[in-house]
Amino acid sequence: MSNPDTIDKLRTRIQGLRAKTVANGCTEGEAVAAAAKVAELLDRYDLSLTDVEVREAPCERRVYETRNRRRIPLDECIGAIAEFCDCRVWREKDAAGEVRYVFFGLASDIEAAHYLTELIDSAVRAELGRYKTSPEYRQFRHQERHLANASFALGMVASIADKLAAMKAERDQMKNSTGRGLVVLKTAVVDSEFEKLDLKLRTVDRPSRMIAPEAYDAGGVAGASLAINPAIRQR
């Protein structure tokens, strides 16, 4: 089994990074740097494990509460976050009817997924707040602004999801270059444990969304400014 102290140290590092969020006053660049550091920590941790330790590592759940009863823009990014962190995710409602995301995977990965969800959620809120003060936003009539808000947020999370997918491919290529097949091994472990949950999940057809193209594009630009594209290197 992997050393519990090592996992605790990793969690502590991620908890320390949690303080560096847009909501707490950091810049977008600092938020991106924090996300990049999470990826670096996870990759270093993964590469430190033996194949036996990966196979024997227990899987856990971690819940992210949205405090919202309705579908939100973050829905369009949550799958990319889970993929980025090598875990599974599903959407469910609690007893109060509020939506929450449940991450399932190795302890280090679900801790990171929860943190990145919080980070991205905070960044979108902060950028939307800035967008609402822009001349472009003021051009929308009052009755159109709700659509503009949603469109901006959707454009931003779509851009971030694309960046996460690109970065994940780069990281997987780096790990696979070791010849160990670590990515395949981790996926097999999580998938096997996930099947044991015997969950009755179903795919829901989502209704198409109306968007305001100008606001959506502005969100995409904001998401691009948060481009998570560091060179993940062993140091």
Q: What is the pLDDT of residues 15-58, one digit of tens each?
A: 877 776 655 666 666 666 777 788 888 888 888 888 898 899 89
Amino acid at position 233, single letter: R
The predicted structure's pLDDT at residue 233: 34
Average pLDDT over residues 107-131: 88
In the predicted structure, residue 110 carries a pLDDT above the cut 90: yes
Percent share of the chain, pLDDT over 70: 82
In the predicted structure, residue 234 carries a pLDDT above the cut 60: no
In the predicted structure, residue 235 carries a pLDDT above the cut 50: no
Q: Looking at the chain, list the stretches that DSSP marks H as alpha helix, in order from N- to C-terminal side.
A: 4-18, 28-48, 51-56, 75-84, 107-131, 135-138, 145-176, 182-196, 213-225
Q: What is the mean pLDDT of the chain?
A: 82
User: What DSSP state is assigned to residue 145?
Assistant: H
Give the residue with greater pLDDT, 206 vs 214: 214
The predicted structure's pLDDT at residue 159: 86
Percent share of the chain, pLDDT over 90: 23
In the predicted structure, residue 160 carries a pLDDT above the cut 80: yes
Average pLDDT over residues 56-68: 92
Average pLDDT over residues 62-71: 90
Burial 146-180 (b: 16+ CB within 10 A, else e): ebbbbbbbbbbbbbbbbbbeebbeebeebbeeeeb
Q: Which residues on neighbouring strands pair with residue 110, listed in sequence order?
A: none
pLDDT for 181-204, tens place per residue? Answer: 888 889 999 999 999 998 877 666
The predicted structure's pLDDT at residue 78: 94
